[in-house]
Structure 1
């Protein structure tokens, strides 16, 4: 078990180009504590496949539970005993973001990890997510009706973030802790039915394993790996298409409606989402994205459709622009007959939120 975990970490570091300074993010739970123990093996050796490596540790205290500071301090002490150096505790404030407490805690944690990596000069941040976490992520994506990107789950590599244990089961990390004589902390929120992820872990996955047979988690994780390849291809193609179409304008950007309409649906929706992000918006949900795409089937100026992040998207008819230019000086704009045009622009603008 330990040998398998070492090999997975070794492969992850090799795929990242053998970073010389590595930071282990550890909550004190069995997954991340097992990862810290495996990383400490390479820290003691001082190299991975002949490439020098040092391993630091960081514990993020979210301050969301009573006694969190004590848990963080105890975890930091275990990391120091394992030989990680330096080891720091980072305390964060979890602010409401509108996307739920789990997402807010994750955002605060990742920000703290990135800052710690910068300050400690670390090239990679190791996270302890397992195959079980990946399977739960895919199930949650299915339940929410998410698209390919969400169903592709967590990536083994995303920037400096590495997840070397996505091929390990949670039970295996518990076994590693037992072998290494470590006493992990068990987060009570992991079994709290108030959280969808906890219900998936405690209630849904065991039923699926019982009714469908063993191997469900592995199948879900394999699905994520396959979809990651598809998502990467579509993402690259959508980026190239978007850059070939986008045009700047005062206060925003626009896309030629005819060209967007002719795109395959898989690209069309991604291009619209990229345009929204380009002007400062957030990833639109299924309903909002379809509402924006429906503007392509309108005639005359239409909209706006409001997207997350204070983005407005609307159709601007080319005939409207032409007729506005044709209005004689001093004449009322509505005195000139207007005709709907099948041609137009899909315009994206970021609207500053109103001050209450």
Structure 2
């Protein structure tokens, strides 16, 4: 079996990277951070023009119908450039939930079409997240009430802002009242929708953490090549080399874990949850190590506003507990690994 990416998938990632490189320079990110809403309508419009909001929308609703594996590449780019936009929440996590709703839900097709053309922002709540990202700027919120799924217009909720160390990650505590008019799923169907939404939310964050780790490594390598001590670039010193090599190794080890998790979610595998939790832990560890060693390579300057490293480092800290903290995901992995029915070993990685 061949699990390498196709030429089309790699070309897609390269095209996204080139676009974001031009549209999301660190100077622009700083400007957006300092705005009241923390979002740029112009950037969202350009993202929609590139078709990125339509990636997961079914073809029948004007989208491209791409799967979770494509998003495992996309989210890395969103992390690498620290995009200050809820693109993944709307176009991936929320889109997946809405696509799975029965066609009898009145506004299902309308919501999907608006996701595709970029005219709607959707915030997604979940039991594992006490705070909802981008609730203040959302047109629609998907919120849980027990096993029920509710699609709630922004006008029907109150959002209490909560400070975040990452100034582009706007969090809020949502106050609302569930009604039959907002309920779009319940019972077993609602429980299944929230379970799948959790996996996609975790997968989205894991991909962004991996992209952030790579960006911080690249910034640290560049700085180490330019900064001189004792007449030599600090990157020539063995201790610095070892630190950065450790980060590069951790990133490479995390990539296949992320892709394995994306494969499991895309194919609806029964043990997808453990693969997704493994990916969150592996990518999170890579990002934390990149931040820690990046600070060591930069010295105290790495914390300052003028140095780009601090933006990506703060995003890692903010995302680390999103969609389940380390304890939550370690518990899921331990329950699988230590269970009596665990199917472990290289011969069982992908089944027969």
Q: Same fold (TM over 0.5)?
A: no
Say which structure, 1 or 2, has more relative contact order (CA 8 Å, 6+ apart).
Answer: 2
* Larger relative helix fraction: 2
Instruction: Compare CA radii of gyration and give the structure with the larger one.
Output: 1
TM-score normalised by the chain length of structure 1: 0.24
Structure with the larger strand share = 1
